[in-house]
C-alpha cells in the first residue's frame, strides 16, 4: 500500500516552508522569521533574533544542554533561495506540489529541507525525553545565495554570535546520486577575477599596434588552458569530483562603443574556484606573469577574493568527527569525504577555527541545486530526519 506522504506532518512542515518566497533579489525575510518563531514555540525552544544589517535578520533557536558551559553545537541553514524562471518549471516553484512521492519547490534541496530536518529531529528528540550535554543552537541566516557576506559573514562579527560559544557546526552539503552520503570538510577558494586590457583606439579598418584584442586573447587562452588541464585531471581520475580541481569559467566580456571603432579598453571576468591543493601565492604570481606577457598595461583586480580557509580535520584529533562517524557507522550509512565545489556559510565558521562539516542527508538523489523543477523525494527527506536523530545527540554529547 503506498505511503500517504500528504498526511505526514513533517512533510507538511517542509512544504509550508517552501511556500515562503524568500527569493532573490531583495528578499523579504518576514515570512521565514514568523514561520520559524512558530516552530520554536511548538517545540519549546527559546528564540533570539538579531539584525547585524537592516532587513537581514538572523534567527537562532536554542535548546540548552545539561552542561551549558561546554562549547555548543550549531546547526546552520540559510533562509534564502535563488531566483526562478517560473515558465520553465513543470510545477510552480513556490507551491510545494507533492507528486508521486516527490516534493517540488525552490529550496527543496538547497536548503530548506535541511533546515526542517533539523527542526523535526529536535522535535522528536525532545518528545522522547532526550537531554543533550551540550547546548544546541539552530541558526537561520540570510543571503547565503549571494555570498553570505551580509548574512553569516556579518553574524560571526557580533557579540550575539560570540555568546553562542560554538564548538562545532553542521551546515549544508549536496545530494548524492549514489547510496553514499557526501560530507564536506572544506571548500575551494572563490576568486572573481577581472582582467583589463587597454590599447590604442582607432579605425576598425587598421592593424594598429598595442592592440587590446590581442592582449585579451592571450589572457583568455592562458586561463582556458588552465580550465582544460582541470578537465583532463577529472577525466584521468574518475574517483575525483569537481571540488578536487581548480575551475575556471569566463563569465563576462565587455568593451567597445561601435563596430568600426577599435576600443581603448576590453575587459574579461572569470569565476575561479581554487582547489585546496593549489598554492595561492604562486597562482597569483602566475596571473601577474601572464599580464606582463600579454602586453603593455594589462592589469588584474578582484571583485571577490576570499582567503584560504583551513579545512576541518576529519581524523582522531577532532572528537566531533569521531562522534559523527561513529553514529554513521551505527546507522550503517556510507560516507564519502569531499571538498565542496562552491561556497557555503561554513567558511565563515572555519575562518574562526570552528570545525564545521557540510552534510545534507540526501542519497540516491540527483543534485538539483539552482535548477528548474528542484525536487526531493519525501522518503529521502524523512530518512534524513532519522539520521539527524542519531547524529545530533552523538555530536552534542561529546
* Crossing angle of the two packed helices 280-294 and 212-236, in degrees rounded to 10: 140
Specify whether 144 is catalytic: yes
Instruction: Return the number of other C-beta atoms located less than 10 Å from residue 113's C-beta.
Output: 27
Kindly give the pairing relationship between strand 166-171 and strand 72-78. Answer: parallel
CA angle at 36 for the pair 42 and 4, rounded to the nearest 5°: 70
Cell numbers given for 261: 571603432
Instruction: Return the number of other C-beta atoms located less than 10 Å from residue 176's C-beta.
Output: 22
Among 80, 145, 172, 196, the active-site one is: 80
- For residue 311, the number of C-alpha atoms closer than 13 Å in the C-beta half-sphere is 20
Among 110, 144, 196, 244, the active-site one is: 144
SS3 string, 217-259, reads HHHHHHHHHHHHHHHHHHHHCCCCCHHHCCEEEEEEEEECCCC
Q: Given CA atoms 38, 39, 41, 47 in this order, what sign does their dihedral have?
A: negative
Kindly give the pairing relationship between strand 166-171 and strand 98-99. Answer: unpaired
Q: Is 210 left (phi over 0), alpha (psi -120 to 50) or beta?
A: left
131: three-class secondary structure by DSSP: coil
CA angle at 297 for the pair 293 and 299, rounded to the nearest 5°: 80
Report CA 109 to chain centroid distance, whole Å: 11
Cell numbers given for 5: 506522504
List active site positions.
Answer: 80, 144
Amino acid at each position: 500500500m503506498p505511503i500517504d506522504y500528504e498526511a505526514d506532518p513533517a512533510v507538511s512542515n517542509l512544504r509550508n516552508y517552501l511556500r515562503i518566497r524568500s527569493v532573490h533579489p531583495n528578499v523579504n525575510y518576514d515570512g521565514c522569521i514568523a514561520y520559524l518563531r512558530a516552530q520554536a514555540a511548538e517545540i519549546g525552544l527559546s528564540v533570539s533574533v538579531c539584525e547585524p544589517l537592516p532587513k537581514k535578520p538572523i534567527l537562532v533557536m536554542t535548546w540548552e544542554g545539561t552542561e551549558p558551559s561546554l562549547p555548543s553545537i550549531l546547526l546552520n541553514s540559510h533562509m534564502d533561495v535563488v531566483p526562478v524562471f517560473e515558465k520553465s518549471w513543470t510545477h510552480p516553484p513556490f507551491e510545494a506540489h507533492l507528486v508521486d512521492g516527490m516534493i517540488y519547490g525552490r529550496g527543496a534541496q538547497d536548503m530548506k529541507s535541511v533546515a526542517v530536518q533539523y527542526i523535526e529531529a529536535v522535535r522528536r528528540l525532545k518528545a522522547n525525553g532526550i537531554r543533550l550535554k551540550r547546548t544546541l543552537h539552530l541558526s537561520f541566516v540570510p543571503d547565503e545565495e549571494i555570498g553570505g557576506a551580509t548574512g553569516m559573514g556579518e553574524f560571526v562579527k557580533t557579540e550575539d554570535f560570540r555568546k553562542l560559544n560554538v564548538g562545532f557546526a553542521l551546515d549544508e552539503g549536496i545530494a548524492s546520486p549514489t547510496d553514499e552520503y557526501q560530507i564536506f570538510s572544506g571548500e575551494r577558494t572563490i576568486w572573481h577575477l577581472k582582467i583589463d586590457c587597454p590599447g590604442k583606439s582607432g579605425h576598425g579598418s587598421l592593424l594598429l599596434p598595442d592592440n587590446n584584442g590581442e592582449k585579451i586573447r592571450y589572457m583568455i587562452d592562458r586561463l582556458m588552458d588552465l580550465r582544460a588541464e582541470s578537465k583532463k585531471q577529472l577525466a584521468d581520475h574518475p574517483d575525483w569530483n569537481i571540488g578536487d580541481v581548480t575551475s575556471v569559467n569566463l563569465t563576462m566580456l565587455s568593451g567597445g562603443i561601435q563596430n568600426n571603432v577599435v576600443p581603448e579598453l576590453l575587459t574579461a571576468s572569470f569565476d575561479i574556484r581554487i582547489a585546496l591543493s593549489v598554492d595561492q601565492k604562486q597562482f597569483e604570481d602566475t596571473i601577474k606573469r601572464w599580464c606582463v606577457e600579454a602586453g603593455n598595461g594589462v592589469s588584474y583586480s578582484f571583485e571577490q577574493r576570499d582567503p584560504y580557509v583551513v579545512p576541518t580535520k576529519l581524523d582522531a584529533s577532532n572528537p566531533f568527527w569521531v562522534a559523527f562517524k561513529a553514529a554513521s557507522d551505527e546507522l550503517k550509512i556510507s560516507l564519502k569525504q569531499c571538498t565542496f565545489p562552491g561556497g557555503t556559510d561554513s567558511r565563515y565558521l572555519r575562518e574562526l577555527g570552528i570545525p564545521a562539516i557540510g552534510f545534507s542527508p540526501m542519497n540516491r538523489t540527483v543534485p538539483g541545486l539552482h535548477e528548474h523543477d528542484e525536487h526531493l523525494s519525501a522518503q529521502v527527506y524523512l530518512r534524513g530526519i532519522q539520521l539527524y536523530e542519531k547524529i545530533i545527540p552523538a555530536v552534542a554529547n561529546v
